[in-house]
Chain A
Amino acid sequence: MYDVLIIGCGIVGAATAFELSKYQLKVGIVERENDVANGTTKANSAIIHAGYDPMPGSLMARLNVRGSALARELCAQLDVPYLPCGSLVLGFSTEDEVLLKELFRRGTQNGVPGLALLTGDEARALEPNLSPAVTAALHAPSAAICSPWEYCLALAETAVRNGAQLHLETAVTGLTPTADGWRVETSRGVLDARYVVNAAGLDAQAVHEMAAPSSFTIHPSRGEYFLLDKSEGDRVGRVIFQCPSRVGKGVLVAPTVHGNLIVGPNAEPVEGDDTATTAGGLAYVRQTALRSVPSVEFRASIRNFAGVRASTDREDFIIEEAAPHFLDLAGICSPGLSAAPAIGEYAVELLGQAGLALERKADFTASRKRVRFRELPPEEKARLVAEQPAYGRVICRCETVTEGEILDALSGPIPPRSVDGVKRRAGAGLGRCQGGFCGPRVLELLAREQGRSPGDIPQDKAGSWLLACETKGGHADV
Chain B
Amino acid sequence: MYDLIVIGGGPAGLAGACAAWEAGLRRILIVERDRELGGILNQCIHNGFGLHYFKEELTGPEYAGRFIEMLRDTGVEVRLDTMVLEVTDQRKVHMVGKDTGYRVEEAKSILLAMGCRERTRGAIAIPGTRPAGIFTAGAAQRYVNMEGWLPGKRVVILGSGDIGLIMARRMTLEGAKVLACVEVMPYSGGLNRNIVQCLHDYDIPLYLSHTVTDIRGVNRVEQVVVSQVDDRRQPIPGTEMVFDCDTLLLSVGLIPENELTRQAGIAIDPRTNGAVVWENMETSLPGVFASGNVAHVHDLVDFVTAESQRAGTAAARYVLEGEAAEGDALEIVNGDGVSYTVPQHVRPGRVEKACDLFFRVNRVCGPSRIKVTSGDKQIAAFSRDYLAPGEMEHILLPRKLLDGASETLCVSIEEVESE
Measured between beta carbons, the chain A residues less than 8 angstroms from B118 are: 433, 436
CB distance from B116 to the nearest CB of A (A): 10
Contact assessment for A470 and B148 in the assembled complex, using a CB-CB cutoff below 8 Å? yes
- Kindly count the residue-residue contacts between A and B in the assembled complex, taking CB atoms under 8 Å apart: 160
Contact assessment for A394 and B127 in the assembled complex, using a CB-CB cutoff below 8 Å? no
Q: Is B98 interfacial (CB-CB < 8 Å)? A: yes
Give per-residue flags for B111-129: 1 if the beta carbon is below 8 A from chain A beta carbons, else 0.
Answer: 0000001101111010111
CB distance from A83 to the nearest CB of B (A): 22
Contact assessment for A389 and B98 in the assembled complex, using a CB-CB cutoff below 8 Å? yes
Contact assessment for A434 and B122 in the assembled complex, using a CB-CB cutoff below 8 Å? yes
**Nearest-CB residue, chain A, relative to B35:** A393
Q: How far apart are the CA atoms of A378 and B129 in the complex, in Å?
A: 41
Q: How far apart are the CA atoms of A282 and B150 in the complex, in Å?
A: 33
Measured between beta carbons, the chain A residues less than 8 angstroms from B143 are: 440, 467
Q: Is B369 interfacial (CB-CB < 8 Å)? A: no
Contact assessment for A397 and B83 in the assembled complex, using a CB-CB cutoff below 8 Å? yes
Q: Is A246 interfacial (CB-CB < 8 Å)? A: no
Q: How far apart are the CA atoms of A444 and B148 in the complex, in Å?
A: 12
Contact among A277, A464, A466, A471 for B144, CB-based, below 8 A: A471
Spot the interface stretch: A20-28, A193-201, A347-355, A455-463.
A455-463
Measured between beta carbons, the chain B residues less than 8 angstroms from A460 are: 132, 219
Q: How far apart are the CA atoms of A402 and B130 in the complex, in Å?
A: 26
Q: Is A400 interfacial (CB-CB < 8 Å)? A: yes
Contact assessment for A465 and B150 in the assembled complex, using a CB-CB cutoff below 8 Å? no
Give per-residue flags for B250-291: 1 if the beta carbon is below 8 A from chain A beta carbons, else 0.
Answer: 000000000100000000000000000000000000000000
CB distance from B79 to the nearest CB of A (A): 11
CB distance from A288 to the nearest CB of B (A): 16
Q: Which of B159-201 contact A (CB under 8 A)?
A: 174-177
Chain B positions near chain A (C-beta within 8 angstroms): 33, 81, 83, 85, 94, 96-104, 117-118, 120-123, 125, 127-133, 136, 138-139, 142-144, 147-154, 174-177, 213, 215-216, 218-220, 235, 246, 259
Contact among A302, A386, A466, A472 for B101, CB-based, below 8 A: A386
Contact assessment for A468 and B246 in the assembled complex, using a CB-CB cutoff below 8 Å? yes
CB distance from A159 to the nearest CB of B (A): 27
Residue among A279, A392, A470, A478 with the most chain B CB within 10 A?
A392
Q: How far apart are the CA atoms of A279 and B93 in the complex, in Å?
A: 44
Q: Is A382 interfacial (CB-CB < 8 Å)? A: yes
Task: Known pairs A378-B104, A437-B117, A468-B176; list 16 more (Cβ under 8 Å).
Answer: A275-B130, A276-B127, A277-B127, A277-B130, A302-B122, A386-B102, A392-B100, A433-B118, A436-B117, A436-B120, A440-B142, A440-B147, A471-B174, A472-B148, A476-B150, A478-B176
CB distance from B9 to the nearest CB of A (A): 14
Q: How far apart are the CA atoms of A185 and B91 in the complex, in Å?
A: 64
Measured between beta carbons, the chain B residues less than 8 angstroms from A393 are: 81, 97-98
Measured between beta carbons, the chain B residues less than 8 angstroms from A398 are: 259
Given contacts A304-B125, A437-B117, A465-B132, whether A385 and B102 have CB atoms under 8 Å apart is yes
Contact assessment for A277 and B94 in the assembled complex, using a CB-CB cutoff below 8 Å? no
19 contacts between A and B (CB under 8 A): A275-B130, A276-B127, A276-B130, A276-B216, A277-B125, A301-B123, A302-B120, A385-B96, A389-B98, A392-B96, A392-B97, A398-B259, A432-B117, A436-B118, A454-B147, A458-B219, A464-B132, A472-B148, A478-B153
Contact among A397, A455, A477 for B149, CB-based, below 8 A: A455
CB distance from A226 to the nearest CB of B (A): 8
User: Which 5 A-B residue pairings sit nearest by Cβ, starting from the closest?
Assistant: A459-B132, A476-B175, A463-B219, A303-B122, A382-B102
Q: How far apart are the CA atoms of A462 and B101 in the complex, in Å?
A: 38
CB distance from B214 to the nearest CB of A (A): 8
Contact assessment for B149 and A467 in the assembled complex, using a CB-CB cutoff below 8 Å? yes
**Nearest-CB residue, chain A, relative to B151:** A467
Q: Is A381 interfacial (CB-CB < 8 Å)? A: yes
CB distance from B277 to the nearest CB of A (A): 21
Q: How far apart are the CA atoms of A83 and B289 in the complex, in Å?
A: 38
Given contacts A277-B128, A392-B96, A440-B142, whether A470 and B122 have CB atoms under 8 Å apart is no
Given contacts A304-B125, A381-B102, A433-B117, whether A478 and B83 have CB atoms under 8 Å apart is no
**Nearest-CB residue, chain A, relative to B250:** A436
Q: How far apart are the CA atoms of A277 and B124 in the complex, in Å?
A: 13
Q: Is A475 interfacial (CB-CB < 8 Å)? A: yes
Given contacts A394-B33, A468-B151, whether A436 and B130 have CB atoms under 8 Å apart is no
Q: How far apart are the CA atoms of A344 and B46 in the complex, in Å?
A: 58
Q: How far apart are the CA atoms of A434 and B85 in the complex, in Å?
A: 19
Q: How far apart are the CA atoms of A457 and B200 in the complex, in Å?
A: 35
Given contacts A393-B98, A436-B136, A468-B246, whether A276 and B147 have CB atoms under 8 Å apart is no
Q: How far apart are the CA atoms of A227 and B122 in the complex, in Å?
A: 8
Give per-residue flags for A412-450: 1 if the beta carbon is below 8 A from chain B beta carbons, else 0.
Answer: 000000000000000000001110110110001000000
Contact assessment for A478 and B177 in the assembled complex, using a CB-CB cutoff below 8 Å? yes
Contact assessment for B150 and A470 in the assembled complex, using a CB-CB cutoff below 8 Å? yes
**Nearest-CB residue, chain B, relative to A299:** B123
Q: Is A469 interfacial (CB-CB < 8 Å)? A: yes
Q: Is A216 interfacial (CB-CB < 8 Å)? A: no
CB distance from B103 to the nearest CB of A (A): 8
Contact assessment for B144 and A382 in the assembled complex, using a CB-CB cutoff below 8 Å? no
Measured between beta carbons, the chain A residues less than 8 angstroms from B148 are: 470-472
Residue among A389, A454, A475, A476 with the most chain B CB within 10 A?
A476
Q: Is A92 interfacial (CB-CB < 8 Å)? A: no
**Nearest-CB residue, chain B, relative to A388:** B98
Q: How far apart are the CA atoms of A432 and B235 in the complex, in Å?
A: 26
**Nearest-CB residue, chain A, relative to B221:** A464
Measured between beta carbons, the chain B residues less than 8 angstroms from A282 are: 125, 127
Contact assessment for A454 and B149 in the assembled complex, using a CB-CB cutoff below 8 Å? yes
Measured between beta carbons, the chain B residues less than 8 angstroms from A389 are: 98-99, 101
Given contacts A276-B129, A378-B94, A476-B176, whether A392 and B101 have CB atoms under 8 Å apart is yes
Measured between beta carbons, the chain B residues less than 8 angstroms from A440 are: 139, 142-143, 147
Give per-residue flags for A273-312: 1 if the beta carbon is below 8 A from chain B beta carbons, else 0.
Answer: 0011111011000000000000000010111110000000
Q: Is A57 interfacial (CB-CB < 8 Å)? A: no
Residue among A461, A468, A474 with the most chain B CB within 10 A?
A468
